[in-house]
Structure 1
Amino acid sequence: MIELKDVSKSFTLHNQGSAVIPVMQNATLSVQAGECVGLTGASGAGKSTLMRVIYGNYLAASGNVVVGGVDVAKAAPREILALRRDTLGYVSQFLRVVPRVPTLDVVAEPLLAVGTPADQARDKAASLLAQLNIAERLWSLSPTTFSGGEQQRVNIARGFAYEYPALLLDEPTASLDAQNRATVLALIAGAKARGAAIIGIFHDEAARQQVCDRFVDVSDFAPKAAA
């Protein structure tokens, strides 16, 4: 479902004489349906960068990034947008939404985008918000007004509303209390059970041991001169 082969990435510092900084070289990994792979490595090793390459936020300098049969490294923007709508979900560390859109609609949006009837989409959104302990009185408000912890839970609810065949999870349990952490881990286990291919970053050792089937150390993908 997710296949990376010989992926390299560098950044160009345009304000420093266009210096090129290699950050990843020959990254190769495979994630099958129903499998959760945890990314490990020191802070700054490139875990989030690798996720952004898979999601298409960063363009790979070389190699193949195939998700659901689409090579993100070579796909047109419209193909990447379709992939994000139908196949690849991403729960980042920060909620990014249009201001003034009610929380219930923010969570329901991925379902509406694939043609789910509005009442069914909002019912699913309501169920997830309740599971994640977002008070019903807040559902009509924009999540941009919420606390950081509430925004994180809204972001998780949105990421799990539609049953994406592939999921990227960047610190989904960070800063959660025990009850909400257990809910998120149950959502991940449920996604695995239905066959989702998952790549996750978990600094919570107990959480990653609970949901990850194996681990990939992104330090192995460091450019040789920087290794």
Structure 2
Amino acid sequence: MTVLSIEGLSKTFDMHVLGDTEVVGLDDVSFDVHEGEFLAIVGESGSGKSSLLKCLYRTYDPTAGRVLYHDGTNEIDLASCDDRTVMALREDTVGYTSQFLDEIPRVPAVDVVARPLVEQGMATADAREQARELLDALHVPEELWEAYPATFSGGERQRVNLAQALAPKPDLLLLDEPTSALDPETRQAAIELLDSYLDDETTVIGVFHNTDVVETVADRVVALDNGQLQAVVPVAEYDGGVVS
């Protein structure tokens, strides 16, 4: 079943500081995403990977095109639906995490991770316990669970960010370089958690630079270059940025 149909998606930016120069972020990108698959987005820096995810999450308003989300009953165009619909989807259906944690001041890491579960109606004690399990799986030291993420290293913040995104098991999860600041051992723990924690009902679209991560977790690979779609291939045909 197709869960997301991306049709002619484009995004341009007006650079006022450069005399209103128009910069192309995405140029007529089209592909489908299947329910339950793990789709990796690859490409060089500036190829449009993060712009694509931000258009899907509606952090950016696309300049043109459609993003049709199919939930089995309804079809919603994420590119043009109203803000209220976008916010409702973010609360219940679509998750997103970047490589940077936007932490809430003076909130312990365990509560940062537990918050989306509590918002879904889970009892606070149960949500905190599940949060601890996720932090432990990502090798966040136990002495940091009750500490404030503002004091953490970049890699520790990234692990808290990933745990928070995974916790509610959204139907559609968008990951923007979630393992970029992790050392090899911790990156492997993150890969194993992605594989074990999420079930077949969660569809994942993730931006990754590490070839080993892509080859381990992805079902298919979307290759972008200069904002344009180069290929959509099974992961077996992907070789470190080159598709065969």
When normalised by structure 2's length, the TM-score is 0.85
| 10-19 or 139-148, larger mean C-alpha shift | 10-19
Q: CA deviation at 1:158?
A: 0.6
Corresponding residue of 1:197: 203
Q: What CA distance in whole angstroms lies between the structure 1 residues aligned with 2:77 and 2:126?
A: 32
* Maintained 8 Å contact 1:8/1:63: yes
Q: CA deviation at 1:96?
A: 0.5
Q: What CA distance in whole angstroms lies between the structure 2 residues aligned with 1:112 and 1:89?
A: 15
Q: CA deviation at 1:56?
A: 0.7
Corresponding residue of 2:176: 170
Identity over aligned pairs, percent: 38
Tell me, which stretches of 5 or more residues in structure 2 are unaligned?
Answer: 230-244
Give, as a single letter, the amino acid of the residue that structure 1 aligns with 2:52: L
Q: What CA distance in whole angstroms lies between the structure 2 residues aligned with 1:103 and 1:16?
A: 41
Q: Of Structure 1 and Structure 2, which has the larger fraction of its residues in strand?
A: 2
Q: CA deviation at 1:18?
A: 3.0
Corresponding residue of 2:193: 187
Q: Is residue 101 from structure 1 mapped to residue 107 from structure 2 by the alignment?
A: yes
CA deviation string 1:89-142 (max 9, x = no partner): 112110002211111110011111211221221111011111112222222221
Q: Is residue 61 from structure 1 mapped to residue 66 from structure 2 by the alignment?
A: no
Coordinate RMSD, CA, aligned: 1.8
Corresponding residue of 1:86: 92
Q: What CA distance in whole angstroms lies between the structure 1 residues aligned with 2:101 and 2:52?
A: 19
Q: What CA distance in whole angstroms lies between the structure 2 residues aligned with 1:176 and 1:23?
A: 27
Change (3 A) 1:80 1:141: same
Query: Which SS does the other structure have where 1:218 is aligned?
Result: strand
Q: What CA distance in whole angstroms lies between the structure 1 residues aligned with 2:198 and 2:140?
A: 24
Give, as a single letter, the amino acid of the residue that structure 2 aligns with 1:129: L
CA deviation string 1:54-101 (max 9, x = no partner): 111100011111334332211222211111111111121100022111
Q: CA deviation at 1:21?
A: 2.3
* Maintained 8 Å contact 1:160/1:187: no
Corresponding residue of 2:235: none
Q: CA deviation at 1:220?
A: 7.5
Aligned residues: 223
Corresponding residue of 2:29: 27
Q: CA deviation at 1:19?
A: 3.1
Q: Of Structure 1 and Structure 2, which has the larger fraction of its residues in helix?
A: 1
Query: Which SS does the other structure have where 1:174 is aligned?
Result: coil
Q: 1:75 aligns with which of 81, 99, 108?
A: 81
Alignment of 1:6-155 (within 5 A): 6-67=8-69, 68=71, 69-155=75-161
Query: Which SS does the other structure have where 1:162 is aligned?
Result: coil
Q: What CA distance in whole angstroms lies between the structure 1 residues aligned with 2:188 and 2:25?
A: 34
CA deviation string 1:190-224 (max 9, x = no partner): 3554321111112111110111111111227539x
Q: What CA distance in whole angstroms lies between the structure 1 residues aligned with 2:82 and 2:120?
A: 20
Query: Which SS does the other structure have where 2:196 is aligned?
Result: helix
Alignment of 1:212-223 (within 5 A): 212-219=218-225, 221-222=227-228
Q: What CA distance in whole angstroms lies between the structure 1 residues aligned with 2:61 and 2:20?
A: 17
Deviant stretches of 4+, over 6 Å: none
Q: What CA distance in whole angstroms lies between the structure 1 residues aligned with 2:220 and 2:226?
A: 15
Larger RCO: Structure 1 or Structure 2 (Cα < 8 Å, ≥ 6 residues apart)?
1
Q: CA deviation at 1:42?
A: 1.5
Q: What CA distance in whole angstroms lies between the structure 2 residues aligned with 1:44 and 1:109?
A: 33
